[in-house]
Every structure is written in C-alpha cells, then in structure tokens.
C-alpha cells in the first residue's frame, strides 16, 4: 500500500513533467512571449490616447471633406456629384468607407484600452518561454525523489522531501500571483480573439490604404482644385479647410504610429493562435495546485504508514527487499 502511494506520486510527477510536451508548450509558449513583447509599445495609455486622437482627427477631416469641401466644389457648378466621385475616387472612397472604418478602428482601440490592465498582469508573469520548465523541473524532481524513496528501505526523509516538493508546487502559483494574473490573461485572450484573425488584420490593412489614398488626394488634388475654383492661393484654401489641413500636417505621424501596430497585429496572428490553443490561462494555477496537493498528500500518507507503533521497528515491507527484511527481523 505504502509503495503504491509513492508510485502514484512518481506518476503525478511524470505527468507534470510531460504536460508541456502534451500541450505543445515548448513551441507555443515562446510564441506567446514574443507576442507579449511586441505588443508592449501599443498597450499604454499614451498610445491609446494618441490613437483615439488620430481617429477623431480623421473624423473631423472626413466630415469637413464631405460637408464643406465637396459642397463647395459641387456647388461651383464645375462638376456634379457624379463627376466629383469620378474625379476624386479616393476621397469618395474614404467618405463611403469611413463609417465602417471608424466603428472597427474604434472597437480595436477600445479593445486595446480595455485590456491594458490585463496585459500588464500577463506581462508581469515569468517569461513565457520558461513556462514549460515550471512543469518539467518540479515534475522531474518529484519523480526522482519518489523513485529514490522506492529504492530505499529507510525513506522517511525522502518522503518528507517529496511532501515538501508537493507543497512548493502548490505554493508556486501564489508566489507568482497566478490566481490574480492568469484569469486576466484569459480575459485578454478572449477579448483579442476576434481582433487577431487574418481577415480582421487584412481589413485594417485595407483601412490604412483607404485613409492614405484619401488623405493624399485631399492634399494633392481636391483642396488645390477648390482653391482654383475659388481663385484662392493654396495656403488660403488650406486655411479654409482647417480639419483637412490638420490631418495632412499630422499624417506622417499617424502613419508612423499606425503602421507598426498593423504590422504587430499581422505578424502575430499565428502566435496568438498558438497561445489560444493552450489550455485556458485561468486553469494554469490549478495545473500546479492539483498535482502539488496530490504529491504532498501521497507523500504524507506514505510517511504515516511508515511510522511504527510504539515498540515496533520501522520496516517497510513494501519497499524493502526480502533479504533486508529477514536481516531486520533477525536483529530484532
């Protein structure tokens, strides 16, 4: 019976050690780590506020282009609505697509904003590439101590070590604040799931093209055309459309900020899928607690069975070989 308990503890240890291989953690966890690192620059309040500011700026310019610039040009009788759309297709495309773009991009920024705290919690966990080893190392230690205990007749101390290892495994999640952090990671993964798919990323890439083409055509063609119609200088025309001018003035900054974010999203679609394929983050603390409790419990039980009654010798008939038992009894 006592031997069976130790064998069971060894089994739990081996299970813990091989769990990362079963869950493909050695390949998936580093991808998660890479993603966490690459997303860091975009998961700040400052960046979120900047993105919101850009969206508001584009919104103002789009409204101005549709309600003032376009009206001024079409109202000049030089070209009609259809002619405007044909002559300035990129601006017309921006006007048509902006409601969709604004909704989707706002949702994206909201998602980032909502998960900043969750991200910080996950980023504060030990490095992802080390995750598999948090299972492998204690698992192998438990298995090794258990095997040693099985091989020794007097194994009380080894059983105590085994119990201590079990307790350490139980305490590890608490030490790394996993109970608080891991569920936040799970929440972030759930929230990012609709965002981190190839189609969504390609949509965002398309938005970038629509915005860039629209801004460029406003700057290079539409505003100069309006100036020509109004007999204004380009500078005077620019001041007539302040929101568009503001957008053009900051466009490079917008590109410099948005492009890396789109790049990070695009580059980590597969990495996100790898992390998403791992067991839920919420379960991770229990992957330590349950085996830890089992190992500690089994070791303590085995130790108790080895403690002799008063006047009895400590002879473990399940783990000692027959010669040793005979020798022990002769000595008695």
Partner 1 sequence: MKVQRHHRLFAVVVAVAIFGTACGSDDDSAGTTAAPDAAAAAQTTAPTTAAALDTTAAPDTTSAPETTAAQFEGDLAGVFEIAAGQCEGTTVSGSYFRMVQAGGTADGPYIPNPDSPCATDQTYSLLAPGADGGLATGRHQPAPDPAFDATGNATAAAIVQPVTFFGVAFALATDEATDPPALTAVAGALSGQVQGWTAYYAGAPFNQGSPKPDGSKPGLTSDVSGTIDPATGAFVIEWSSLIVGGAFDSFTGIWHLEGVFQPE
Q: Enumerate binding residues for partner 1 (CB under 8 A).
A: 90, 201-202, 205-206, 208-209, 212-213, 215-217, 219-221, 248, 251-253, 255-256, 258-260, 262-263, 266-267
Q: Which is nearer to partner 1, 251 or 288 (CB)?
A: 251
For the bound state, the minimum distance from the C-beta of residue 42 to partner 1, rounded and expressed in Å, comes to 13
For the bound state, the minimum distance from the C-beta of residue 55 to partner 1, rounded and expressed in Å, comes to 17
Q: Which is nearer to partner 1, 141 or 223 (CB)?
A: 223
For the bound state, the minimum distance from the C-beta of residue 212 to partner 1, rounded and expressed in Å, comes to 4
Span between the terminal Cα atoms of the chain, in Å = 24
For the bound state, the minimum distance from the C-beta of residue 188 to partner 1, rounded and expressed in Å, comes to 23
Token couple for 64? 């101005």
Q: Which is nearer to partner 1, 113 or 267 (CB)?
A: 267
Q: What 3-state DSSP class applies to 60?
A: helix
Percent helix, strand, coil in the chain, to 5, is 85, 0, 15
Q: Do 85 and 92 contact (CB within 8 A), yes or no?
A: yes
Token couple for 228? 């020509």
Contacts of 145 (CB under 8 A, 6+ apart): 158, 161, 162, 165
Q: Which is nearer to partner 1, 256 or 310 (CB)?
A: 256
Q: Which residue matches tokens 């080895």?
A: 306
Q: Which is nearer to partner 1, 184 or 268 (CB)?
A: 268
Please return the burial class of 34, using the count of CB atoms within 10 Å of its CB with bins 0-12, 13-18 and 19+.
Answer: middle
């Amino acid at each position: 019976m006592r031997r069976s308990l130790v064998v069971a503890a060894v089994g739990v240890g081996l299970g813990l050690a091989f769990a990362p291989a079963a869950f493909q953690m050695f390949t998936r966890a580093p991808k998660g780590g890479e993603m966490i690192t690459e997303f860091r620059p975009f998961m700040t309040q400052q960046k979120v506020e900047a993105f919101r500011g850009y969206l508001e700026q584009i919104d103002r310019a789009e409204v101005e282009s549709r309600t003032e610039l376009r009206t001024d040009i079409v109202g000049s009788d030089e070209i009609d609505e259809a002619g405007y759309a044909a002559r300035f297709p990129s601006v017309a495309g921006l006007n048509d697509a902006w409601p969709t773009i604004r909704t989707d991009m706002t949702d994206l920024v909201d998602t980032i904003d909502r998960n900043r705290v969750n991200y910080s919690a996950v980023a504060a966990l030990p490095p992802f590439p080390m995750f598999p080893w948090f299972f492998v190392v204690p698992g192998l230690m438990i298995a090794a101590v258990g095997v040693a205990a099985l091989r020794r007749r007097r194994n009380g101390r080894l059983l105590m070590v085994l119990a201590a290892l079990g307790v350490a495994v139980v305490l590890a999640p608490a030490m790394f604040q996993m109970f608080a952090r891991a569920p936040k990671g799970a929440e972030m993964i759930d929230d990012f799931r609709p965002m981190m798919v190839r189609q969504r990323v390609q949509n965002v890439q398309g938005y970038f093209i629509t915005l860039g083409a629209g801004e460029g055509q406003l700057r290079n063609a539409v505003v100069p055309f309006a100036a020509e119609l109004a007999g204004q200088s380009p500078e005077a025309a620019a001041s007539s459309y302040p929101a568009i001018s503001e957008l053009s003035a900051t466009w490079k900054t917008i590109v410099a900020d948005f492009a890396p974010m789109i790049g990070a999203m695009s580059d980590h679609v597969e990495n996100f899928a790898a992390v998403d394929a791992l067991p839920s983050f919420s379960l991770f603390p229990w992957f330590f607690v349950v085996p830890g409790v089992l190992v500690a419990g089994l070791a303590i039980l085995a130790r108790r069975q080895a403690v002799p009654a008063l006047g009895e010798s400590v002879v473990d008939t399940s783990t000692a070989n027959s010669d040793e038992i005979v020798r022990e009894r002769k000595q008695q």
